[in-house]
Chains A and B, each alone.
Chain A
């Protein structure tokens, strides 16, 4: 354990803890663009700088480990004006038509600009922007909104390990692009959308992203309904409809999802959903009330049970229903129907 003070508050942390983590623990807010919890800090955006007594330069809190006796100040004049300058530098070349940007409300550049009182940049715009790429079925890429935090590149290369996105050119000409300047649709992109999930601005956005503003949605933590990996994710809900999915960090998923988990949520609100019980009458499935349907079910079961015994009935449970439902289903077959003919269809 090492002891230090942050903004005058003493704190004890495990060796190897970064200043940023210690701040988080104390509830001290530190702005970051490039920081990604799952990956080794890169220290490129420089937003998270703090003052460490005795150091000539500002120190980046995301990568600097806490040391015994350290005295850290997170909001000195030097720190605040440095952060303001970083925002201004980024804003100088940022397309600020925020009204039509899908990221409005969740954009970190916007958020910090407000927080640090930057209304316009004193610096000159000098960059030409690379063309937009709207070829993916699921997301758009607008380089004029990119702040080169490189989160997308790191996620694509180090977590998804797909190597689609890369940094092209150097210095001020650096931009995020694809090999041979391909479009997403012509590349090896697997549409996992993890780059979109981590983009702090409107550079990479879901095609469906304009259908909601972040303050209009609630988030519900849940488990992906697709394969057996069991990724954790947040459903974004607006007016009773699922409008998006964000990855969460789970035991099985380091904050990433696949194309199905990320994008294939439309079935939830799909018009094809069954909304009422159906009973076959005159060879046709026709709407019925729950009471009718449930009576119909139980009478059918009871009749066959009386005629042919409980083993003439079999039940197939579901590899997609919950544990509780499967438990209840097999309990129904065994305790209420009286047969062990219960199985699930999941050998496929």
Chain B
């Protein structure tokens, strides 16, 4: 199946760090168009129906309009490039292969909201991306895309690269801002939302790498064109990361709404060694685990919500018949114990208890009542934790309870995954 490359347009066909070569394949045209009439950028983005690619799917134009409308002496644009989700690689691909598209997107966003300083908060584990971005940023400065009076527009904007603190939760936008401010990265209570009071209390537009990298093409081709791809409620393309027991792992760009089966069979080439697909974790480490029977679910937010899958940032991890779901859950629970920032009680104290309970099942030591407690705790966390990490950490467990109840056996019985 052919990819639809919007964000990754011509990726791999030119020198990523060179703005000259990027321009040769149509780069920075969106910026020129945007700079001609900065005031209407937000309307164009609103009309395009673009939604955030960082996981929450918030309408980008609307978010921009909050920051644009806020009155302040200083505004910021922050690119969330923390990509902490295990097994996700899409932002990395964008930054490595088309860094100028991200830079262009950030400039457009800054023009739209009236910011003159930008930050890229980059995941610490991406040293190579750091080098590429540094080079690209320097190149953009040399060619007058960044700095004072960009392309003679009278508009100043520069971008600083900030290397993250190495914590998954720092991908959460408010924790990210605290971390940028040099504090212990912990989520803040919202409201106020960053768009109104963000970095150092100033209005701050925080967007995912992929979201920002979509802006140039929308400016060039217009909202109608963008809406012609994807679904009605979630237009455009999406970068999907395929991982796990699948032959062709990698990052692929397709219109939103492509089915999991298409991605699994036609793009991914099925499970290795002809093994049977058993389960799929959708939407990243905190996404729901669904059975192979739901393979025909289209990857868009609405359809995912309907069947109990997670759209998230477009991750799909495939598990074949050899895999043990309790092993998977144990690993995931360990991950959340490690990544909880420790600020709020239910997440800090709840995740270790989730892990403990999963381990009991995993070791065949579970007793009557343990499953109820697991469900009670998991459900409570989803409705009562401070940030998305704690709220979504129980998702894998609760979805396995829903779709694979047989694995939670009590009284010295251990049910090994697919068996």
Contact = CB atoms under 8 A, between A and B. Distances in A.
B380 A82 contact: yes
Given A46-B386, A57-B391, A167-B184, A81 B345 contact: no
Contact of B344 (A43, A78, A147): A43
Interface string B323-342: 00000000000000111111
Given A171-B338, A171-B342, A41 B380 contact: no
Contacts of B191: 65
A123 interface: yes
A42 B376 CA distance: 25
Contacts of A169: 342
A298 interface: no
A172 B383 contact: no
B376 to A, nearest CB: 7
A141 to B, nearest CB: 19
Contact of B383 (A42, A58, A147): A58
Interface in A185-205: none
Contact of B356 (A44, A90, A124): A124
Contact of B348 (A57, A65, A148): A148
B337 A171 contact: yes
A60 B390 CA distance: 15
Contacts of A124: 353, 356
A51 to B, nearest CB: 10
A171 B345 contact: no
A63 interface: yes
B384 interface: yes
Instruction: Classify chain A's interface size.
Output: 35 or more
A170 interface: yes
B350 interface: yes
Given A56-B383, A93-B349, A170-B340, A42 B373 contact: no
A85 B356 CA distance: 16
B340 A171 contact: yes
A49 B191 CA distance: 16
A215 interface: no
A171 B351 contact: yes
A173 interface: yes
Contacts of B340: 170-172
A85 B385 CA distance: 12
Interface in B288-342: 337-342
A126 interface: yes
A148 B344 CA distance: 9
Nearest to A56: B383
Interface in A36-86: 41-47, 49, 56-58, 60, 63, 65, 78, 81-82, 85-86
Contacts, number: 95
Contacts of A86: 345-346, 384
Contacts of B189: 41-43, 60, 63
B343 interface: yes
Given A170-B167, A171-B339, A172-B337, A46 B356 contact: no
A172 B352 contact: yes
Contact of B346 (A89, A147, A148): A89
Given A60-B189, A85-B376, A92-B349, A46 B384 contact: yes
Interface string A11-23: 0000000000000
Contacts of A82: 380, 383-384
B377 interface: yes
A173 B337 CA distance: 9
Q: Which of A33, A44, A60, A123 has the most CB of B within 10 A?
A: A44
B346 A85 contact: yes
Contact of B342 (A47, A63, A65, A173): A173
Contact of B380 (A44, A63, A81): A81
A275 interface: no
Interface in B338-380: 338-346, 348-353, 356, 369, 373, 376-377, 380
A78 B383 contact: yes
Contacts of B346: 46, 85-86, 89
Nearest to B352: A172
Q: Which of A41, A46, A65 has the most CB of B within 10 A?
A: A46
A90 B84 CA distance: 29
Nearest to A33: B345
Contacts of B343: 42, 44
B383 A57 contact: yes
Interface string B183-227: 010000101000000000000000000000000000000000000
Contacts of B342: 148, 167, 169-174
Q: Which of A47, A92, A122, A172 has the most CB of B within 10 A?
A: A172
A152 B22 CA distance: 54
Contacts of B348: 148, 171-172, 174
Contacts of A63: 189
Contact of B349 (A33, A47, A122, A172): A172
Nearest to A175: B342
Q: Which of B191, B343, B385, B391 has the most CB of A within 10 A?
A: B343
Given A45-B344, A148-B345, A170-B342, A58 B384 contact: yes
A62 to B, nearest CB: 9
A46 B350 contact: no
Contacts of B345: 33, 44-47, 86, 89-90, 147-148
A300 to B, nearest CB: 67
Nearest to B341: A170
Contacts of B338: 171
Interface string A286-309: 000000000000000000000000
Q: Which of A81, A89, A126, A167 has the most CB of B within 10 A?
A: A89
Interface of B: 167, 184, 189, 191, 337-346, 348-353, 356, 369, 373, 376-377, 380, 382-386, 391
26 contacts: A42-B343, A43-B189, A46-B345, A46-B384, A46-B385, A46-B386, A56-B383, A81-B380, A82-B383, A82-B384, A86-B384, A89-B345, A89-B350, A92-B349, A92-B353, A122-B373, A123-B356, A123-B373, A126-B352, A148-B342, A169-B342, A170-B167, A171-B338, A171-B340, A171-B342, A171-B351
Given A43-B189, A44-B345, A46-B345, 11 more contacts: A46-B386, A57-B382, A82-B383, A86-B346, A90-B345, A92-B353, A122-B369, A124-B356, A148-B348, A171-B348, A171-B351
Q: Which 9 A-B pairs have the closest CB atoms?
A: A174-B342, A89-B349, A171-B340, A43-B189, A171-B342, A63-B189, A57-B383, A123-B353, A172-B352
